[in-house]
Structure 1
Amino acid sequence: MTAPVLVGPLPAGGGPTPFPDWDDVLADIGDRIRAERQARGWSQTELGRRAGMGLATVKRLENGETSLRGFVRACRALGVPADHLLSDQWQIPLPRPSLTARQAEVLAAVSDGRPLSEAARDLHMTPEGLASELSGRIYQRLGVSDAPRLERRAAAVRVAVEYGLITLPNRTS
């Protein structure tokens, strides 16, 4: 990434307003778009699909060769207000965990704490395959692999619910 450049409003005060180096400003905007995309775990192709623009346009945008239209489309797709992305208040976002549709289905199926053998049967998997999917992929993607073994499943469910990756069914007693 390039060195940060102030792209938000300049502080009030006396003296002439310095003329910005537009190449640096555009490079910084591109870096910020890239950081937002990467925090969501999206490829450039995915951002382009969501923003309604081609891969070449996304690459130009992230390289600081942008148009206002491309910038606005990217901001909308990322769900980031353009003024916030341009402000000096913007910070590099923390990466968001993600799951594939199948991984979300698997985690939701084991979210009630029942034995893996029962959940595996419902998912048409072997208990060993289910355990491998959980520990080898899902727990890692959700960042809970280091949690104590008996707490990993509950921690994974908490993280997935928090980020809207799974929805738990309403359970009444």
Structure 2
Amino acid sequence: MTAPALVGPSPAGGGPTAFQDRDELLADVGDRIRAERHARGWSQSVLGKRAGMARKTVAHVENGQTTLPLHCLAALCRGLGMSMSDLLSDAWVMPARPEARVLTPRQVQILRVAASTGLSLPQVAARVGTTRQVVAARLSETYRELGVWDLPRDERRAAAVRVAEERGLFDAIPESHAA
């Protein structure tokens, strides 16, 4: 029988402390990754895409069902936009979960067209097959939901796209479904 591996300093500043059970550690890391993903309002698919791995792999990691190779942990942390040291730190705290803010497929479609083409509202309306009033209303809703409504008008579209990309909202609805 082998003694448990010893890692890091003890809380009292003495020698190393005993390593927790492997399954407990995997579950703890998985819980932290899930909490960080939820705090960003992302699905497992969005995190998987950002980390370059399958949704099923993210699910297995979050559920503590797989040994986590270091390169996978690094990829998940990169996908979350955080360092491994922050995720694994004893000082890590559960992030507050923001209000669920999800764009509808129609909002995504209109924002994509408006931002990528730089067209006027009537031109965007013609491109997406609706009226200028509907486009204006959907963009206004989108700006409020993304928290960029108070920016100057000429900065709103770019800021909305940036926030939607950061939150993985474009990833959640493929272009083919939003069209």
Global fold match (TM > 0.5): yes
Stretch of structure 1 that moved more, 14-23 or 75-84: 14-23
Give yes or no for contact 2:9–2:17 (8 Å, CA) kept in 1: no
Instruction: Report deviation, 1:122.
Output: 3.1
Between the aligned partners of 1:159 and 1:36, the Cα distance in structure 2 is 27
Between the aligned partners of 1:120 and 1:14, the Cα distance in structure 2 is 66
Partner AA of 2:81 in structure 1: G
Overall identity of the aligned pairs, in %: 44
Instruction: Return closer, same or farther for 1:105/1:9 CA change in 2, 3 Å cut-off.
Output: farther
Q: What TM-score results when the alignment is normalised by the length of structure 1?
A: 0.59
Structure 2 unaligned spans of 5+: 1-7, 165-179
Give yes or no for contact 1:36–1:78 (8 Å, CA) kept in 2: yes
Which residue is equivalent to 2:28?
A: 28
Which residue is equivalent to 1:161?
A: 159
Instruction: Return closer, same or farther for 1:41/1:74 CA change in 2, 3 Å cut-off.
Output: same
Q: What TM-score results when the alignment is normalised by the length of structure 2?
A: 0.57
Between the aligned partners of 1:53 and 1:153, the Cα distance in structure 2 is 36
Between the aligned partners of 1:158 and 1:32, the Cα distance in structure 2 is 33
Between the aligned partners of 1:120 and 1:31, the Cα distance in structure 2 is 44
Root-mean-square deviation over aligned CA pairs: 4.1
The total of aligned residue pairs comes to: 145
Which residue is equivalent to 2:58?
A: 58
Which residue is equivalent to 2:121?
A: 120
- Alignment of structure 1 residues 8-23 onto 2, 5 Å: 10-14=10-14, 17-23=17-23
Q: SS at the partner of 2:135?
A: helix
